[in-house]
Amino acid sequence: MLSIDPKMLFRLDELEQDLVERRTWAVAEGWQGEIEGIDLTLTFLRGKRAQAQRFQRSGTVDLGLPHQRPPITDG
């Protein structure tokens, strides 16, 4: 799943503005399929923005270093 770098939130704002303008044009032209596609894309974009904003607030999580498990013995 694609993760957005919180530093790039401004780019999502630019993309959203462009999609809203395209949607306005599609409504004026009566392109129902295009409107539905843009609406779906806007929903995903806004979800990604919310995800990135949550990540930005919470920071990073230290998962530690992986370690090797001891071998399983019969006995």
What pLDDT, on the 0 to 100 scale, is given for residue 15? 94
- C-alpha 1/C-alpha 56 separation (Å) is 17
- C-alpha 39/C-alpha 57 separation (Å) is 27
The pLDDT confidence band at residue 46, using thresholds 50, 70 and 90, is: very high
Residue 62 identity (one-letter amino acid): D
What pLDDT, on the 0 to 100 scale, is given for residue 5? 75
Domains identified in the chain, total number: 1
Is 70 inside any structural domain? no
Which pairs with CB-CB distance under 8 Å and at least 24 residues apart come from 22-31?
none
Is 75 inside any structural domain? no
pLDDT at 57 over 80: no
Is 1 inside any structural domain? no
What pLDDT, on the 0 to 100 scale, is given for residue 60? 66
Give the residue numbers spanning the domain of 49. 6-58
68: phi then psi, degrees, rounded to nearest 5 = -85, 135
Mean pLDDT, the chain, as a whole number?
86
